[in-house]
């Protein structure tokens, strides 16, 4: 009976959802504790890896997985994968592209609006008996007419851009691949040749790209200096795209007005991370892609893809095999 090893730890409702989509004839195992040591131990008899979380699929794990036939991501990020070690073993890797794009897009726009409207701080003030209607109201801004600069225009980016367009925002973007003229026209988006070219125009900077060796800390002290005063930064992509120390300094100085961060340089966030102390920062625990609907679809699609691969039903494989 083929064994699917979930390379992190689910409990409660997430674990029940995952188990419910595994068909008869297959076993599914989640880790008893989410550590590299436990992952290495459980890899020994795994036929398939269902990869989520931040544990590394590295040389040590792969060397202890002699039966491994394929690696399936629950999402799309592959920064936890040792690409060279996987290539040496010729193990195929599939990603669950687009399955949670709408959830991430909605979360992105929620963070943008919450920053513009100062919602967390205002809600706290009202709960504490502070009722300053006019003073509070004029501290808020509308999304209409603002320029949102987006880094990346894949599945998530396009859905986000469509929502922003409906609000009347001006969307500019950069990506390694430019969208077609028809797509740009339908979404009301304008292309910029580089990240730096967008910065002076951005009222809101929003990240929608994968993490690479080339773009780590792409938002740093130097790039922040190129931005408008009082701009907003939103990140639902990967935490290491941002130099958090530089962002913190810009937030306390007022250079950056606010930030909405779903992803973080270290996950879970370190207990002493100074961003936690700021009223103009909204933090969520990497949940942009995890609505009930999207999580259920992610698990279903990923497991169905493993089963199709196992049965050699390549014509019905839904997910995308990637070249490392």
For the stretch 191-246, pLDDT in tens is: 999 999 999 999 999 999 999 999 999 999 999 999 999 999 999 999 999 999 99
Q: Do residues 4 and 50 touch, judged by C-beta distance below 8 A?
A: yes
Q: Would you put residue 98 in left (φ > 0), alpha (ψ -120 to 50) or beta?
A: left
Closest Cα partner for 238 from 168, 184, 167, 289?
Answer: 289
- Chain-centre distance for alpha carbon 302: 17
Q: Do residues 100 and 78 touch, judged by C-beta distance below 8 A?
A: no
Distance CA 210, CA 151 (A): 10
**β-strands 147-151, 170-174: how paired?**
parallel
Q: Is 225 a catalytic residue?
A: no
Q: Is 106 a catalytic residue?
A: no
* Residue found under tokens 């990603």: 95
Has residue 100 got a pLDDT over 80?
yes
Q: Which residues of 212-233 are buried (b: 16+ CB within 10 A; e: fewer)?
A: eeebebbbeeebbeebbeebbb
pLDDT attached to residue 77:
85
Q: Count the neighbouring beta carbons within 10 Å of the beta carbon of residue 312.
A: 8
Catalytic residue (choose from 192, 208, 238, 255): 238
Global pTM reads: 0.88
pLDDT attached to residue 320:
66
Domains of the chain: 3-99+291-322 (3.40.50.720), 101-283 (3.40.50.720)
Catalytic residue (choose from 9, 192, 255, 286): 286
β-sheet with 93-95: strand ranges across: 27-30, 3-6, 48-51, 70-73, 93-95, 320-322
C-alpha distance across the termini of the chain, in Å: 29
Q: Is 286 a catalytic residue?
A: yes
Overall average pLDDT of the 109-125 stretch: 96
Q: In the chain, which ranges are continuous DSSP H helix?
A: 12-20, 36-42, 59-63, 83-89, 101-116, 119-127, 133-137, 155-166, 181-187, 195-198, 221-225, 244-253, 292-310
Has residue 78 got a pLDDT over 70?
yes
Closest Cα partner for 70 from 317, 244, 291?
Answer: 317
Distance CA 161, CA 251 (A): 26
The string of pLDDT tens digits covering residues 263-316 is 999 999 999 999 999 999 999 999 999 999 999 999 999 999 999 999 988 766
CA angle 200, 218, 238 (to 5 degrees): 115
How many alpha carbons fall within 13 Å on the CB side of residue 16?
3
Distance CA 57, CA 61 (A): 6
pLDDT attached to residue 324:
66
């Amino acid at each position: 009976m083929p064994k699917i090893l979930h390379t992190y730890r689910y409990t409660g409702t997430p674990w029940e959802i995952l188990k419910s989509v595994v068909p008869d004839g297959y076993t599914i195992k989640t880790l008893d504790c989410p550590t590299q040591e436990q992952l290495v131990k459980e890899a020994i008899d795994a036929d398939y890896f269902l990869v989520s979380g931040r544990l590394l699929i590295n040389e040590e794990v792969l060397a202890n997985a002699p039966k491994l036939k394929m690696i399936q991501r629950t999402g799309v990020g592959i920064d936890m994968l040792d690409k060279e070690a996987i290539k040496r073993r010729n193990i195929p890797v599939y990603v669950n592209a687009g399955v949670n794009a709408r959830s991430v897009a909605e979360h992105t726009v929620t963070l943008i609006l919450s920053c513009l409207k100062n919602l967390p701080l205002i809600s706290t003030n009202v709960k504490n008996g502070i009722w300053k209607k006019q003073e509070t109201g004029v501290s808020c801004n509308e999304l209409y007419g603002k320029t949102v600069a987006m880094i990346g225009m894949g599945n998530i980016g396009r859905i986000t851009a469509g929502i922003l367009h409906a609000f009347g925002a001006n969307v500019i973007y950069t990506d390694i691949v430019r969208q077609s003229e028809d797509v740009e026209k339908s979404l009301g988006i304008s292309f910029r040749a580089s990240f730096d070219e967008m910065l002076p125009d951005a009222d809101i900077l929003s990240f929608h790209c994968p993490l690479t060796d080339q773009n780590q800390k792409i938002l740093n002290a130097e790039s922040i200096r190129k931005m408008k005063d009082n701009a907003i930064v939103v990140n639902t992509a990967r935490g290491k795209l941002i130099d958090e120390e530089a962002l913190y300094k810009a937030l306390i100085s007022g250079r950056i007005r606010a930030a909405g961060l779903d992803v973080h340089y270290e996950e879970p966030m370190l207990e002493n991370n100074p961003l936690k102390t700021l009223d103009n920062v909204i933090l969520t625990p990497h949940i942009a892609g995890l609505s009930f609907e999207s999580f259920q679809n992610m698990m279903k699609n990923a497991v169905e893809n493993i089963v199709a691969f196992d049965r050699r039903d390549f014509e019905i494989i839904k997910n995308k095999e990637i070249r490392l």
